Every structure is written in C-alpha cells, then in structure tokens.
C-alpha cells in the first residue's frame, strides 16, 4: 500500500512541476512580446543621405614594352634596354622609385602552326611597370614620353581618391547624413505629437569610391610631332547614408 501511495505522490509532484514550467514559459513569452511591442511603439526610424562631387587626387597607369626577336636572350635584352630608357624618362619627369613598380615580366616562344606541325618562329619578351602619382598635371607627359622612349603597351589610367582625402570626405558626409536624418526625424516627431529623447541604434552605408577610367592603345611614331595626350580626371559623386532609430515619448 505504501508503494502505491509513493507512486501517487510522485505522479502529483510531476504534474505540479509541469504546470509550473508551463506557466513560467508563458510568462516569459508574454514579457518578451510585450517588450518588443513597447520598443516598436516608442521608436521611429529614419534614413539620412549626403553626397558631393569630388576631384580624384591619385592616378595609376601601366606602361610597358613588348618586342619580338629570334632568340629569347635577344628579346629579353632588347626589351630591357627599352624599359630602362622608359624608366629614366619617367624619373626625369619627377617620379620617384616608390612611384614605379614592376607589374609583369615574361619571355615566351611564338609558334607557327602549319601543315600539322608546330615550329618556333621567335620569342616575345614583355615588361610593364605600374605608375602611381598624385601629380595629375604630368599624366599626358608620362604617356607621351614613355611612347617616345619605346613603350608600346599603355594600359588604362585609373583615378582614385587618396586614403587621407577619403577619411576627410567620409567625416564630412557622415555629419551631413546624420543632420539630414535628424531633421527629418524631428519633423516627423512633431507631426506625430511625440518628442525625440535619444538614439537607440544607427548604421552607416558608404557610397562607391570615386573612380574613372581612361583607356588608350599606343602604337605611335616616336618621330612624329603631335600635341600632348590630354588626360582629364573629371569628377565623381561620393555618397554616404545613415539609418538611425530614435527613441521617442
């Protein structure tokens, strides 16, 4: 009989604990839902935007030479001679060693395919350097002097904004974007009959980094007289946006 009583007591204890757990879970769920509703009722969210036109202050371009010769050694030597002259011309324009970086060097056989056979008809040697400069006024001279010195491969010119200038722009744009969001939020709050008392959260979204391109394929007569190649970096639009969640009452 005592064993049956113990079983009954255990059964009722388990049921009681189950009821308590269910009530606790329901209370926690109700509290979380109520808190979420309360948060959403006491906040407003607003986007702010800012943009400006900027002039890039840094340019990057690739300059190189490719030559053909009967042997790999001849091709390599001829190519090296041309690029040495090109680099001397570039330094004569005021570029420093740190502004000139080798980006590609190669020597490869050139094949002739005929009547089902493959024969080597010569070797191609190429060498190119990447130029980075903040002196945008000499870009035309860089291209023309390089071509006159023997360069026959000039890649695209890319214009960018230096890290220091980007940091300065971002600080100004963030200030303008936040002011824009705040102004719109104040207007909305006034029309809703509530008052902004704080900020709950915020996020920032950067615009695309300014960059334009100039492409040119160089094949020119070094002896021919012609005007300097015109290079215009132009302007690019930089934008910034913020999203702010304001606490209202």
Q: Among 122, 128, 111, 127, which Cα is nearest to 74's?
A: 122
Q: What angle do CA 163, 205, 165 make, to 5 degrees?
A: 20
pLDDT tens for the chain, 249 residues: list them. 455 555 555 656 566 566 555 555 555 544 444 444 444 468 999 999 999 888 888 999 999 999 999 999 999 999 999 999 999 999 999 999 999 999 999 999 999 887 778 899 999 999 999 999 999 999 999 999 999 999 999 988 888 888 788 888 888 899 999 999 999 999 999 999 999 999 999 999 876 554 555 444 444 444 344 556 777 777 777 889 999 999 999
Q: Report the half-sphere exposure of 27 (CA within 13 A, side-chain side).
A: 6
Q: What residues have CB less than 8 Å from 139, skipping those under 6 apart?
A: 59, 61, 133, 157, 229, 231
For 113-122, b/e burial (b = at least 16 CB within 10 A) is eeeeeeeeeb
Q: How many other CB atoms are there within 10 angstroms of residue 69's CB atom?
A: 18
Measured CA to CA, the distance from residue 196 to residue 188 in angstroms comes to 10
């Amino acid at each position: 009989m005592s064993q049956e009583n113990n079983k009954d007591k255990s059964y009722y204890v388990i049921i009681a604990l189950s009821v308590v757990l269910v009530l606790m879970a329901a209370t926690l769920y109700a509290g979380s839902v109520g808190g979420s509703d309360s948060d959403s009722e006491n906040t407003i969210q607003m986007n702010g935007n800012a943009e400006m036109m900027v002039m890039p202050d840094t340019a990057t371009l690739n300059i190189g030479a490719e030559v053909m010769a009967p042997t790999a050694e001849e091709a390599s030597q001829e190519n090296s001679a041309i690029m040495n002259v090109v680099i001397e011309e570039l330094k004569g324009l005021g570029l420093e060693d740190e502004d000139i970086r080798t980006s590609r060097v190669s020597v490869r056989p050139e094949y002739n395919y005929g009547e089902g056979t493959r024969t080597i008809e010569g070797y191609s040697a190429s060498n190119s350097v990447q130029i980075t400069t903040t002196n945008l006024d000499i870009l035309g001279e860089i291209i023309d002097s390089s071509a006159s010195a023997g360069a026959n491969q000039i890649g695209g010119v890319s214009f960018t904004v230096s890290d220091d200038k980007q940091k300065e722009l971002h600080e100004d744009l963030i200030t303008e974007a936040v002011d824009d969001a705040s102004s719109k939020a104040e207007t909305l709050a006034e029309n809703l009959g509530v008052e902004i008392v704080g900020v709950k959260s915020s996020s920032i979204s950067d615009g695309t980094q300014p960059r334009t391109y100039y492409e040119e394929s160089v094949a020119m007569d070094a002896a021919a007289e012609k005007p300097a190649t015109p290079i215009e970096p132009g302007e690019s639009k930089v934008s910034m946006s913020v999203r702010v969640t304001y606490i209202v009452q």
